[in-house]
Structure 1
Amino acid sequence: MKIKTLLASMLLAATPALTLAASGGEQLRSFVQDVRAAKGEFSQRTVDSNGQSKGAPQSGQFVFQRPGQFKWHVQRPYEQLIVSDGKVLYQYDPDLAQVTERGVDQSIGASPAAILFGTGNLEDSFRLVEQASRDGMEWIRATPLQTDAGFSYVDIGFKGSEPRRLELQDSFGQTTYIDFTALEPNPRISASTFTFKAPAGVDVVSMP
């Protein structure tokens, strides 16, 4: 399964040190407030409502800088690149030789990306509910207030003061699991990191 509208949903990063007793909600709010940028690695898989795998697992690297700048680079099993410069989001698929571009506001909206890249109040776009501890992590569930968000809810798991897993439930009963490793909060990031230019010879499609 290729990441399209779920792209921003799959980006999380490390938080500064918190006490291990902090709840998932406390750690999430600290993350939004204190982590301005991060980079790391991810692995991703999707299962259907019966727990059957959908498509091949994916893995790659990501980097983001709030508000609204990020790069999500799928490296395996095929390459795909998603880059946002804070104004325009570019999705490049080398296999299709195509670049799709759209406004960041339209792409992110009330998606989980708003948690990562936004600067406003989380409760303006999501209903946040603490979840029971499991798998050695503290959990918080974010349910979008908008009915057309494209997903039902996202659970975010924290361990050792770092977001370690994201579980995204969509309206078809599919669940996307994303695990994060090698997290580095607030690294020094070059301004050119979020610059994208379409390669020569590819089709560029602008979305409203």
Structure 2
Amino acid sequence: MYQTTNLKYSQWIFSLVLLIWSPGEVVAAAVDQLRTFIRETQTVSAHFSQTLLDKNARNVQKSSGTLEFERPDKFRWIYQTPYEQSIVGDGRKVWFYDHDLNQVTVREFNIAIGSSPAALLAGNSAIEDNFELIDLGIQDEIEWMEAIPKNRDSAFEFIQLGFSQDGVLQYMALRDNFGQTTYLTFSELIKNPVLPDNHFEFAPPDDADVISE
């Protein structure tokens, strides 16, 4: 049961991260970093470490893995620890694969991201149509911004992004409506790597349990 819950949690975490690949007309220092990052970056590969804290700031889980993106709507988000999970989007469908359970959940792209901040990726609206963007200033040489959903029904209170002063995305913080906070640290980030043409395709294993939603 816990592992299944962890998979569902991973599904909306990947959606949140897609925020950083979506264009928008915004202002302020850290948000300008975001705009420059988007303008200059078509593909990305990176490692990530993720920490989930409950509402009492107790460590619930740590995980890590790799991610790759090709703007605007192709991605591979691979959890390597503590459970092996793959989330792959090809622009039409999103595949969630739990390796241990040998279970695949497939959703239409627009449906998969429709209830999260990543919905702005699928449409033509600017970021500020869905979020209030706030420049939080510089702390320890990291430029921070906060995105607060304008939709009162959103499952998230805020998303914070931290950029180095040379424009490299390094941190993300997410707070949900249950008081849980997820911290992500990005490392070994490479801008515009050459990725294989079929890199964002996914074929479920023959013996996997496939669920379409």
Partner of residue 94 from structure 1, selected from 99, 118, 130: 99
SS at structure 1 position matched to 2:12? coil
CA-atom RMSD in angstroms: 2.2
* Stretch of structure 1 that moved more, 152-161 or 118-127: 118-127
CA contact (8 A) 1:13 1:183 kept: no
SS at structure 2 position matched to 1:63? strand
* Offset at residue 136 of structure 1 (A): 2.8
Distance 1:172 1:115 in 2: 23
Other-structure match for 1:47: 53
* Offset at residue 7 of structure 1 (A): 1.9
Partner of residue 30 from structure 1, selected from 19, 23, 36: 36
Partner of residue 203 from structure 1, selected from 188, 201, 209: 209
Given residue 70 of structure 1, which amino acid in structure 2 is its aligned partner?
F
1:4 is the counterpart of 2:11: yes
Distance 1:39 1:163 in 2: 12
Given residue 180 of structure 1, which amino acid in structure 2 is its aligned partner?
F
SS at structure 2 position matched to 1:70? strand
Change (3 A) 1:116 1:167: farther
Partner of residue 186 from structure 2, selected from 180, 183, 191: 180
Structure 2 stretches of 5 or more lacking a match? 1-5, 22-27
The within-5 A match list for 1:1-208 is 1-2=6-7, 3-10=10-17, 23-55=29-61, 57-109=62-114, 111-113=116-118, 120-159=125-164, 160-207=166-213
Instruction: Provide, for residues 150-175 of structure 1, a one-character-per-residue CA deviation record: whole Å limited to 9, x for no partner.
Output: 21110000113111000001000110
SS at structure 1 position matched to 2:187? strand
Distance 2:95 2:77 in 1: 10
Distance 2:114 2:40 in 1: 22
Instruction: Using structure 1 for the length normalisation, give the TM-score.
Output: 0.87
SS at structure 2 position matched to 1:192? coil
CA contact (8 A) 1:10 1:178 kept: no
Structure 1 stretches of 5 or more lacking a match? 15-21
User: Deviation above 4 Å: which 4+ runs of structure 1?
Assistant: 11-14, 114-120
SS at structure 2 position matched to 1:5? helix
CA contact (8 A) 2:110 2:122 kept: no
Other-structure match for 2:3: none
Other-structure match for 1:17: none
CA contact (8 A) 2:29 2:137 kept: no
SS at structure 2 position matched to 1:6? helix
Instruction: Provide, for residues 70-110 of structure 1, a one-character-per-residue CA deviation record: whole Å limited to 9, x for no partner.
Output: 00011112200000001100000011111001111122236
SS at structure 2 position matched to 1:130? strand
SS at structure 1 position matched to 2:32? helix
Query: Where is the helix percentage greater, Structure 1 or Structure 2?
Result: 2
CA contact (8 A) 2:37 2:167 kept: no
Q: Percent identity?
A: 38
CA contact (8 A) 1:89 1:101 kept: yes
* Offset at residue 143 of structure 1 (A): 1.4
* Offset at residue 11 of structure 1 (A): 5.5
Distance 2:161 2:40 in 1: 17
Instruction: Provide, for residues 27-56 of structure 1, a one-character-per-residue CA deviation record: whole Å limited to 9, x for no partner.
Output: 01222333221111000011012210112x
CA contact (8 A) 2:20 2:34 kept: no
The number of residues matched between the two structures is 199
